[in-house]
Structure 1
Amino acid sequence: MQVDYKKLWIRLIEKGIKNKTDLIPLAGISTNILAKLNKGEYVSMDSLAKICRALNCDIGDICVINEVNKK
């Protein structure tokens, strides 16, 4: 499975947040978490909850899990 955070980046734009790094102080996350989000890597539920509280949204509003077919 792969995590897709495109919805998060769209939500930031909708909120008028043009720079992804502005999410760090807004949500109280670390630069490592932001780097993982940029790479589409897994982050803790705690980090996702902080982002959701900061953006006043639900987890489904910021990410989706995509199934990756392995052959």
Structure 2
Amino acid sequence: MKLKTSYKPLKIQLVLKDMKMIDIRNNVDVSSSTLAKINKGEPVSLLAILKICEYLNCGLHEVVEFVEDSDETETKL
């Protein structure tokens, strides 16, 4: 089973806190390319995720999760 990163929990946190990605961009020391990777669902450094967690005052599981890669399961069928 192959896993991929999902930032769905981050999107949920932003909605709950009435925030947008621009708030992270303006208040957290992460690059715009890192935020672009998050929007594309690509892996980013643990340090970047830690900075986002600290800003949002939440845990790692409330920002990122690992889900089964559906592309991987489709190729096995």
1:10 maps to which of 9, 12, 35 = 12
Structure 1: any 5+ residue segments left out of the alignment? Answer: none
Asked if the contact 1:3/1:66 (under 8 Å) is kept, the reply is yes
Letter of the 2:52 counterpart: I
Calculate the TM-score normalised by the size of structure 2. 0.82
Find the structure with the greater CA-based Rg: 2
Q: Is the 8 A contact 1:21 1:34 kept in 2?
A: no
Give identity over the alignment, percent: 36
- Paired amino acid for 1:43: V
CA RMSD of aligned residues (A): 1.2
Task: Please state if 1:30 is matched with 2:36.
Answer: no
TM-score (norm 1): 0.88
Paired residues, what number? 70
